[in-house]
Amino acid sequence: MNYEDSTVKVFSDNAGDYSDRQVPWQFQDRERGLFLAVIKPGGKILDPGCGPGNDGKRFKDKGYEVLAADGAAGMVNLARGKGLRGKVIKYSEIDQVGEKFDGVWASYALLHIPKAELPGILTKIKEVINEGGAGGNI
């Protein structure tokens, strides 16, 4: 089993517990604000590695169109429960998401990708960002 499949399995098997233990990350408010400052109002945001959809919900509540994406179906289901559009898709497949976005927000997700594979994943992410769009990673 490769890194991606093992990571997806852990998060799929523990989606509910992960969501229950997650605490509000107010310290990220600044980072989210900086990200949104360069995304047009009402723009489309991809949240890959969305987890339970907490950030995506914040963006949606501010009027943005959000696609919550994760390789773990359990996480996508939690995000959908928050009213988000969701798609089960792994980072290695992100260029096949089938649409373009004004911004990609990858919070605490890229750290699960081995360093040697990161350039290829970042290239795939770039392919789904509209001209003039932005990426955000914490």
58-69 per-position pLDDT tens digit = 999 999 999 999
pLDDT band at 3 (very low <50, low <70, confident <90, very high): low
Domains and CATH numbers, the chain: 3-18+42-137 (3.40.50.150)
Quick one: average pLDDT of 61-84?
Answer: 96
Nearest Cα to Cα of residue 86 among 95, 99, 76? 76
pLDDT band at 136 (very low <50, low <70, confident <90, very high): confident
Q: In DSSP terms, which residues pair with 47 in a beta bridge? A: 68
Quick one: average pLDDT of 7-29?
Answer: 59
Instruction: Say yes or no to pLDDT of 89 above 90.
Output: yes
Q: How many residues does the chain have?
A: 138
Whether 47 and 65 have beta carbons less than 8 Å apart is answered as no
pLDDT band at 15 (very low <50, low <70, confident <90, very high): low
How does DSSP classify residue 1? -
> Which carries the bigger pLDDT value, residue 137 or residue 87?
87
* Amino acid residing at 25: W
Instruction: Say yes or no to pLDDT of 54 above 80.
Output: yes
Coil, strand or helix at 78 = helix
pTM exceeds 0.85 for this model: no
Residue 11 parent element (H or E): helix 3-13
Average pLDDT, the chain: 86
Give the whole-angstrom CA distance, residue 63 versus residue 83. 13
